[in-house]
């Protein structure tokens, strides 16, 4: 931000994943970093060149032609605001007049939105994964999208000023099929709080055998070039990697629930054995104690499985090198 010129002929929109439970200080931080005015995006605010608009916590930011649109539509990749929502809406309304910039981050957020920008003739800039504090997000974009430039952070602002000069005569023609365009319209609408089911989301992908980790709705599989992702009929969306992470988390949660249930089983059996002893039902008391020992052993095994599941989930996934 510190390197962007004061007369930048474009509006800058920023999405960063922060906790919805705390106010964001990002506008104040960015204001100290450069000469451009910075503010949180406001619903129906007019987009002005040379201004920076930061997504407020727990709200998607969409570009609606010359205005901003805030929504609390379904989360994408467990996040609201979503990078992909911003990228798609900007490309949908401004096409070749859009430049997408993807910086350091975990997982693969932004890859789908970058693909949309690229297909509609806009420009794409990605921070060099080796230059990023967290390289997986820019690396995913490099692997799945024919991005225009891969640059270290310090070179991105100068590149943006050059690209803004080139956008008119150099921008490419849209390369999106009618079906892809209709799906884009539906997905931008979903992010704007349209009803995903009534919008026909289930007709814009192949039905999968998986269910949404958040609402347990039906998931359809969507393909965008080399990208595979999923969206449920309620509207939640996941990349393949995020869906895998969610499923792994569910497995760990179910294992801990099973361990807790077995602990409760032991407590009840021990209570029953004590009650049987007091009633001089020694054989019944012994049977309860033996069953409690079996349940305690099973609980120990289940607890170990839950601990192992947590360790496995924390292991980094080796990502194959890009083309």
The rounded Cα 33 to chain-centroid distance in angstroms is 27
Number of Cα atoms under 13 Å in the Cβ half of residue 227: 25
Q: What are 268's two structure tokens?
A: 């009840």
What is the structure's pLDDT at 171? Answer: 52
What is the structure's pLDDT at 84? Answer: 97
Q: What are 247's two structure tokens?
A: 């499923």
What is the structure's pLDDT at 91? Answer: 97
Is the pTM for the entire model greater than 0.95? no
What is the structure's pLDDT at 52? Answer: 97
SS3 content of the chain, % helix, strand, coil (to 5): 45, 15, 35
* Section 30-41 average pLDDT: 94
For the chain, the average pLDDT equals: 92
The rounded Cα 8 to chain-centroid distance in angstroms is 29
The mean-pLDDT minimum among 172-176, 225-229, 264-268 falls in 172-176
What is the structure's pLDDT at 243? Answer: 93
DSSP lists the bridge partners of residue 219 as: 232
Q: What are 23's two structure tokens?
A: 């106010």
pLDDT tens readout for residues 64-102? 989 999 999 999 999 999 999 999 999 999 999 999 999
pLDDT tens readout for residues 278-302? 999 999 999 999 999 999 999 999 9
Number of Cα atoms under 13 Å in the Cβ half of residue 295: 19
pLDDT tens readout for residues 99-130? 999 999 999 999 999 999 999 999 999 999 99
Q: Sign of the CA dihedral 201, 206, 209, 212?
A: negative
pLDDT tens readout for residues 152-203? 999 999 999 999 988 754 456 788 999 999 999 999 999 999 999 999 999 9
Band (321; pLDDT cuts 50, 70, 90): very low
Q: Tell me whether strands 227-232 and 218-224 are parallel, antiparallel or unpaired.
A: antiparallel
């Amino acid at each position: 931000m510190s390197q962007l010129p004061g007369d930048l002929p474009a509006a800058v929109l920023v999405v960063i994943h922060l906790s919805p439970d705390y106010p964001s200080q990002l506008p104040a931080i960015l204001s100290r970093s450069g000469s451009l005015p910075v503010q949180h995006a406001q619903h129906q605010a007019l987009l002005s060149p040379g201004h920076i608009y930061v997504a407020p916590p727990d709200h998607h930011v969409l570009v609606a032609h010359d205005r901003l649109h805030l929504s609390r539509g379904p989360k994408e990749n467990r996040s609201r605001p979503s990078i992909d929502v911003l990228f798609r809406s900007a490309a949908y309304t401004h096409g070749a007049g859009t430049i997408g910039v993807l910086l350091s981050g975990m997982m693969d957020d932004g890859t789908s939105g970058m693909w949309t920008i690229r297909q509609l003739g806009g420009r794409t800039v990605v921070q060099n994964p080796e230059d990023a504090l967290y390289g997986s997000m820019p690396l995913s974009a490099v692997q799945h999208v024919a991005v225009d430039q891969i640059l270290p952070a310090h070179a991105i602002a100068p590149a943006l000023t050059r690209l803004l000069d080139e956008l008119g005569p150099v921008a490419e023609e849209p390369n999106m099929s009618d079906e892809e365009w209709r799906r884009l319209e539906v997905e931008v609408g979903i992010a704007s709080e349209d009803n995903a089911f009534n919008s026909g989301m289930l007709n814009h992908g192949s039905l999968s055998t998986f269910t949404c980790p958040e609402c347990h709705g039906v998931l359809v599989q969507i393909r965008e070039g080399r990208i595979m992702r999923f969206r449920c009929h309620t509207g939640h969306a996941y990349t393949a990697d995020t869906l895998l992470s969610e499923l792994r988390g569910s497995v760990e949660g179910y294992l801990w629930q099973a361990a807790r249930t077995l602990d409760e089983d032991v407590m009840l059996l021990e209570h029953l054995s004590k009650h049987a002893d007091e009633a001089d039902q020694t054989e019944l008391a012994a049977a309860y104690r033996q069953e409690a020992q079996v349940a305690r052993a099973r609980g120990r095994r289940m607890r170990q499985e839950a601990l192992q599941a947590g360790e496995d989930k924390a292991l980094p996934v080796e990502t194959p090198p890009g083309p």
